[in-house]
Amino acid sequence: MSHQQVESLDVDRIRAAYPILEREFSGSQLVYLDNAATTHTPDPVVDAMSDYYRQYNSNVHRGIHHLSQEASIAYEEAHDRVADFIGADGREEVIFTKNTTESENLLAYAWGLAELGPGDEVVLTEMEHHASLVTWQQIAHRTGADVKYIAIDDDGRLDMDHAHECITDDTAIVSVVHVSNTLGTVNPVAELADIAHDHDAYIFVDGAQAVPTRPVDVQAIDADFYAFSGHKMAGPTGIGVLYGKRHLLEAMQPYLYGGGMIEKVTFEDSTWAELPWKFEPGTPPIAEAVGLEAAVDYLEEIGMERVQAHEERLAEYAYEQLAAEDDVDIYGPEPGPDRGGLVSFNLESVHAHDLASIMNDHAVAIRAGDHCTQPLHDKLGVAASARASFYVYNTREEVDKLVDAIDSARQLFA
């Protein structure tokens, strides 16, 4: 479905649920365009968490009392809700973690350390976030496995011929970002999953920028593992998800040990609780799980197709405005079905950090830096870039303010 056909959002109504967007700095209203870093949290999500603390705060899976029962049920049901949202086959396949990074580490430690060895290959892409790049790199160092990177082409898309070359019968796992947080590229993850599976390799997909912004169905992708964070999808910080196919998670040993993840313990040995609790030791992020569930409800009420269309429209508009300027370099593919809702760029005469500081004086919040993709920036030949990223509450007028702020930076440095 092209986004032209999708009904647009009632942004005024949406914005009313985000008091933070009313903030002013030196008389200018906040223009928040740093959503790829973290999104804001709407009232229904804050309310759900506050309701938990006010009404049924308790530890889970321990108490016989009313509050513990209520908290336990809410915590467990949050897994069901998330499973349903991403097309997983039940709560057993949904592990709550701290964030995408921890999900990635859970997989790398629990599966990677046990399974990888010399001669095995881990295939990444040049656009991986440090969350997966650094993690696999270090696990490879420890296990003697090799790391390979699928190259990107000049437009910031994966070179699929190179993908076919990189993924071989020695490949143990392919780790690929679904939507690049720097280039905005939407990668063909289902195709990559097919290639991986043809070689009996697994595929892990970093969905930190995908789940917040588009419908995602892990079974349609045929991902073996998939990760994302609550705080980038209108949910709270402190909670993330690792999805894994049930039989794979069952075969994996725990990564962290302690209470809550065991079945039976003696002085000599222990056995593990069933999925997903086997991977959730200690007191979990209960309020955050309640908040994540509320965020899923919130996003589904808007409709993920509409969220995606809204973002794509704004990104396309921003791209066009910026592309019209001779002194702006934009990274990543042109607007289209394989570009998500963010635009990274550089203004030739102004360092990205200076640009972000000047924008900040206009109350325009953007990100500047390497966006946790240093090797990719090396490849692009720049130390840093500026990035504007959009969410459900952003407007075309805000894109105009971005462009105006760029213009004042240009004048200041002229």
Which residues in this chain contact another protein in the complex, by CB under 8 A? 26-28, 350-354, 357-358, 360-362, 369-370, 377, 382-384, 408-409, 411-413
Tokens encoding 68? 């513990």
CA–CA distance, 265 with 145 (Å, rounded to integer): 34
Q: Which of 34, 93, 126, 206 binds ligand PLP (CB under 6 A)?
A: 206
Residue 216 tokens read as: 């995602």
- Kindly name the residue from 304, 372, 382, 383 that is annotated as catalytic: 372
Query: What are the φ and ψ backbone dihedral angles of 249, each rounded to 5 degrees?
Result: -65, -35
Q: Residue 377 belongs to what H/E stretch?
A: helix 374-380
Whether 166 is catalytic: no
Q: Name the token pair of 155.
A: 């437009």
d(CA 101, CA 111): 15
| Alpha carbons 158 and 389: distance in angstroms, whole number | 21
Stretch near ligand PLP under the rule CB under 6 A, chosen from 16-24, 75-83, 107-115, 203-211: 203-211
Strand partners, 267: none
206 binds, among another protein, ligand PLP, none (CB under 5 to 8 A by kind): ligand PLP
> By rule CB under 6 A, what string of x and - marks binding of each residue 9-38 to ligand PLP?
---------------------------x--
Part of the chain binding ligand PLP (CB under 6 A), chosen from 44-52, 82-90, 205-213, 282-290: 205-213
Give me the 53-72 binding string for ligand PLP, x by CB under 6 A, dash otherwise.
Answer: --------------------
- Please count the CA atoms within 13 angstroms of the CA of 259 that sit on its side-chain side: 7
131 is a contact residue toward ligand PLP (CB under 6 A): yes
- The DSSP secondary structure of 9-39, one letter per residue, reads P-HHHHHTT-GGGG-EETTEE-EE-BTTT--
- How many angstroms separate the CA atoms of 392 and 278, rounded? 35
Q: Which is nearer to ligand PLP, 212 or 254 (CB)?
A: 212
Query: Kind and range of the H or E element at 248?
Result: helix 246-251
Binding mask 218-257 for ligand PLP (x = CB under 6 A): -----------x----------x-----------------
Q: Is residue 395 close enough to count as binding ligand PLP by CB under 6 A?
A: no
> In the bound complex, what is the minimum distance in angstroms from residue 362's beta carbon to another protein?
6
Q: Which residues bind ligand PLP (CB under 6 A)?
A: 36, 99-101, 129, 131, 177, 181, 206, 208-209, 229, 240, 372
